[in-house]
Every structure is written in C-alpha cells, then in structure tokens.
Amino acid sequence: MHDLLITQNLCLHPAGQGFFYSGNMSLYHYPTEFRFVFDCGSLNRDNIRDEIDKYKRTQLTSQIDLLIISHFDADHVNHLDYLLKGIKVKKIVAPFVGIAERLFLVFRLIEQGELNNPDSSGTVDIIIDPASALAPYLDEGGDITFVDSDPENPPFPPPGDDAPPDEEGRGENIEWSFAFEGGTMPMPPGELNTKSTQARKVKDSQKGFTRANDTPLMEFLFYRKDIGSDNKAFFDKVYELFLQRFSTEFKYPANPGIDELTNVIKNNLRSATIVKELFQEALKTVNNISIKENELMNMNTTALSLLHYNLVKKFSKIAPWHYAKNSDRYTQQIYHIQKLDGTAGTETRLRSNQVDFQYYYGYHYERSLIANTLLTSDSFLLAEEDTNAFMRRYKNYWHNFWLFQVPHHGSSHNSSLHLFTRLPVDRWLFINYGVHKAWGGTWRHPSPKVITDLVAAGISTNLLAVNENNGYHIRVEYTLYDR
C-alpha cells in the first residue's frame, strides 16, 4: 500500500514581457497549502491578467504565504495590485535598495516612457517607498523583509547542514510558516527612507526556510549582487543633482520626505528630457567610473536571485508513523501550456519522470530530477567576476538544481559563455520574454548572441521558451509506501 505524501506545483506563467512565477506545496490529507509567488508583472497587459485570473480561480485562496519581488522594474511588479486585490500576504521579501538607487530606477522608468503607461502608474510608489506601498497587502502580523548583500559573500553551507533540529511535524493540524535563519532585524525608517514601521532586514547569506509545523521542507536561498562603488557613486550624484535642481520644491532640501519626492517626480518629471540631462551631468562630474551612457538602460544591480530547494530527506518526518522511512518515490511531470492567442490555454504533458530513491542510482537521479529551481531574474552575470561571485555563493548547490533561468529575458548584457559553460549540461533552462508588443511591433529579447552562446556551451537542448504563448506547469509528487 502506498499514499501520496507531498504534492508540489510550480508554474512559469505565459505572461509576455515580464515574469510571473508561482508555486504551492500541500501535504497528504491536510487542507492547507504553502503558496508563494515570485514577481508579477508584464508589459503585455491582457496576457498577464488572464494568468492572474486563472491563478485566483484555481488557488481559491485569500492568502499568499510568501511574495518575493526580485526587483522593481515595471515588467516585474506592475500587476501586483491586480494579483493582490482581495488577497493578504503573510511575508513579503524584496531587495534592499537605497533611496538614491530607487530614484535612479524611477528616472529610468521615465526615460523609457513607462510613467505614462496606466499599468505602471503605481510602480513609482512601489519603487520610492516599497514598504509603505506594500504594507496594506500584509496579513495581520505580516512584515516586509529587505535582503541586502553580504559583503563577505560566504557560500551557503551544504543542504540541510545548518537546518533547525528535526522535529516530528505530523499532527492533527499543519501550520505553514516561512522564516529566515537567525531571524530578521527591524529596519529604522530613516535607513530605508520610508513611512512604514513594518520593515525588516536580513543579509542574503541567511537561509530562508519553509516549515510544516517544526519540520523544514524547503530552503529559499537569495543572492543580491553587491552594488559596486561605480554604481553607488553614480546613483548618489544623480540624487544630489535632482535635489539641487528642485530644491525650491522641498521644505528641507537636504533631506526631503518621501511624499515630497513622490510629488516632485510625478508633477515635474513627465518628460525624459530632464532625466537625460541629470544622467549626462552625473556621468561628467563623477570621476573615474566605467559606466557609459549607452549602458544606463541596462543597469539594475538590485535584482535578487533565488534558489528554492526541496529538503527531500526531511519529507518523511511529517509522514504518519505506519509509513516506511526508506521506501519512497518521487515523480515529476512537466506540462506545456500553449496559448495560441494569448488566452484560453491548454496543457499537454511534455515529460514524466519517476524515481524510486531506494534504488542504487536513486541519489544520482535525485539531484537532476527534483524541481529545485534557480531564478536569476534580471541579475547581471556578464562579467567574469560577477559570475564567479554568484557561483561562489551557490557552490554547495551548483549540481543540486534542475531548472535555471537565463538572466534578464535573454539579454546579451547580462550573461555570456563564461556563465553558460559552467552550468551542468543536463539541466533544463528557460528564457522568459515577450514576443509582440500590445501597441505594435516586437520586443528585443532574447538576444541572438545569447542563443548562439547557449548552443556553443552545449546546453540548448533543454531550453524552454516562456512568453505570452508558452508556459510550463511542473507537478511533483512524493509518495511513501506502507510498512
């Protein structure tokens, strides 16, 4: 006799130019689930709203346990308000971004013409004061945690080595929770330049754990690239020039309030002309920086990477006593979501794998099968030093993920052969991008050079295209046998 113990569903939603990724985990006969979402934005409005509507219909919930915002570009956050209408969130995780860099992100949004996009109007508020803008969506007792880079960049310890002590997680009820190892620290409002008092802070070297009662079942491992001295100097100079230019608009020009900053931006910076002037002047006046003007639109040092990792060896801890602890099976099925016109999608099973762990080769297959996913969002992994720092953080997990996100919609500004030749050759990869602009024309991603590099690295065979026409649903099932 056997019984399904754990079910996990992951979805790369066909949302177009942006990203919307969701997951859930449920335990045998218990009605509750752990639900998480990573980003929810797109410049293809109809496509992502159709996916959000479908998500709400199928999840039938008024709560998300964990919402992760990789960064604050419009195509990653501009439909959060639509997703969260009628939904509360227990925990929100986002990158820590200083006020000078946040202003740069808003200015870049203006230069790209996104401020006049109705779907992106609320994005300005999220960028300038994310803690206050997102606080209304929090459940009672919820909080927002900002992840900052650890300058020491220590590798994450091997899987499970520093996990909390094992406890028997079964019982009459299952309570799901998410928390960071070592806890979080309160963030003084002045450090974040926010009106909110619910903000917390952690280093990206701290592991996050999803638990069922006291048993850790998943690790969430974040990485935030260090901002770098050149970028910081440029952001600070742009902020300084902005305050000087509009000094008469502020009550205290040296230290304006969040509301004042927001009002000045919305009332005085509708045109990209002023933004370009600020950028050009900053580049001229900051000494000895390597940033070029044509690189500004691709600058985003804030993006969080995330590896979510299943602690499979702990799964049996939550099983009823009459199940064997050494007789288990892991099944993974991949479904292709096809939406020919961007709506009314159909799912077709693409692949199904099944592994019995007690078999001799079970452990070998375990690592390449289990749906551990490494999301890079819009991270900059082009330079060798950036790729090496990224790999150093995840070195104890480098062969322990199954799915890898090619950075920044396949932009050639964010990755190269140096990264691709270091990825395990038997892994699956995906590029998320938009094909057609809603207002006509096509998007510029992915770069032909990136496709050529993936082929040259020998890892293009299992490459998935995620756009407004194609998405993927990964369903994994963990089964235990009776004694």
The Cα 52–Cα 383 span in angstroms is 36
482 compared with 311, residue with greater pLDDT:
311
User: With 60 as the cut, is the pLDDT of residue 7 above it?
Assistant: yes
49 compared with 324, residue with greater pLDDT:
49
Instruction: Determine phi and psi for 288, rounding to 5 degrees.
Output: 60, 45
For residue 407, which amino acid is it? Answer: P
Residue 250, burial from CB neighbour count under 10 angstroms (0-12, 13-18, 19+): middle
The token pair at 429 is 């990869």
User: With 60 as the cut, is the pLDDT of residue 357 above it?
Assistant: no
Residue 313: count of CB within 10 angstroms of its CB: 14
pLDDT of residue 219: 96
Going along the chain from its start, the domains and CATH numbers come out as: 4-100+131-226+304-480 (3.60.15), 228-297 (no CATH)
The token pair at 110 is 């203006």
User: With 60 as the cut, is the pLDDT of residue 367 above it?
Assistant: no
User: With 90 as the cut, is the pLDDT of residue 14 above it?
Assistant: yes
pLDDT of residue 218: 94
pLDDT confidence of 459, banded at 50, 70, 90? very high
pLDDT confidence of 167, banded at 50, 70, 90? low
428-432 vs 463-466, strand pairing mode: parallel
Share of the chain above pLDDT 70, in %: 80
Section 5-29 average pLDDT: 92
160: left (phi over 0), alpha (psi -120 to 50) or beta: left
pLDDT of residue 363: 47
Section 220-228 average pLDDT: 91
Partnered with residue 145 across adjacent β-strands are 93, 200
Quickly list H helices, 161-291.
189-192, 229-245, 258-268, 272-285
The Cα 194–Cα 257 span in angstroms is 9
User: With 60 as the cut, is the pLDDT of residue 15 above it?
Assistant: yes
pLDDT of residue 430: 97
Compute the mean pLDDT over every residue in the chain, rounded to the nearest whole number.
84
The Cα 193–Cα 27 span in angstroms is 41
From the list 303, 463, 302, 306, the residue with the least C-alpha distance to 397 is 306
Question: Is 39 within 8 Å of 20 (Cβ atoms)?
Answer: yes
173 compared with 284, residue with greater pLDDT:
284
230-266 per-position pLDDT tens digit:
888 888 998 999 999 999 988 888 888 888 888 888 8
Share of the chain above pLDDT 90, in %: 44
Instruction: Determine phi and psi for 331, rounding to 5 degrees.
Output: -120, 135
Question: Is 32 within 8 Å of 174 (Cβ atoms)?
Answer: yes
377-405 per-position pLDDT tens digit:
999 898 899 999 999 999 999 988 999 99
The Cα 476–Cα 474 span in angstroms is 7
Section 417-431 average pLDDT: 93
In 55-196, the DSSP E strands lie at 63-68, 88-95, 138-148, 176-180, 185-186
262-301 per-position pLDDT tens digit:
888 888 776 678 888 888 888 888 877 666 666 665 566 6
Within 8 A by CB and 6+ apart from 121, the residues are: 115
User: With 70 as the cut, is the pLDDT of residue 221 above it?
Assistant: yes
